[in-house]
Amino acid sequence: MTRSPAPLVLLDLDGTLTDSAPGILAGIRHAYGVLGLPVPDEATLRSFVGPPITESFGGHGVPADRVDEAVTAYREVFAAAGMYDNRVFDGVPQVLRELRAVGCTLAVATSKPEVFARPICDRFGLTELVDGVFGAPIEEGTSTKADVIAKALAALGRTSPVVPGADGPAVMVGDREHDVHGAAAHGIPCLGVTWGYAADGELEAAGAAGLVHDVAGLTRAVLDRLDRP
């Protein structure tokens, strides 16, 4: 008798596993300064955390022909030190250990370029707690969250769309609408976490399968979702 693969939990990074806003926002402010453009207000700046940075610059005052310049300026600060101006949310390592202990396969799936995501996960002790770290190419504007998830599924030997009976159950955990939509493209429900960077009502409007309001409740929420048909 063929056994189904282990339950799969895909995990966003920024705003879900880590509080990465300080380093990211410092780089964004620097980029606007280099370009001589007005820096967006704080609420708008926080909206940059999660989606591809090229998308966010283009949507907030940076002319299309200067987006590459903005990204270069941003990465000058981010790659030098900003990527590590970051911390793992309290309780996250314990959640990852608990999910692995009951047989879940765990994978980070982030829109952050993989060349940054991997060393960040290494630095903060996340790599050893998951079964893979998957991110966007360095030209992140060429990739969507759905593309990153496709990459993770292929590497882990899963099909798309996911068929629970054949492939084992799967769930995405993320804090932005991009996580919900990217997972839905592969037939995967997404639990939205409210400690991240979503605007009020964003996750509900995107169609999140449920909301989790604190890290302490994440293990149970994930397992409950995986148990549903």
Catalytic: 12? Answer: yes
Query: Quick check: helix, strand or coil at residue 168?
Result: coil
CA distance 18 to 121: 9
Catalytic residue among 12, 14, 19, 167: 12
Where are the extended beta strands (E) located within the chain? 8-11, 18-19, 87-88, 105-113, 133-136, 170-174, 190-193, 210-212
Query: Quick check: helix, strand or coil at residue 135?
Result: strand
Which candidate, 2, 5, 7, 8, places its Cα nearest to that of 134? 8
Name every residue whose Cβ is closer than 8 Å to that of residue 166 and which is 6 or more positions away in sequence: 4, 159
Which candidate, 148, 153, 206, 150, places its Cα nearest to that of 176? 206
- Total residue count of the chain as it appears in this document: 229
Per-position b or e across 86-115, b if 16+ CB within 10 A of its CB = bebbeebbebbeebbeeebbbbbbbbbbbe
CA distance 16 to 154: 23
Catalytic residues: 12
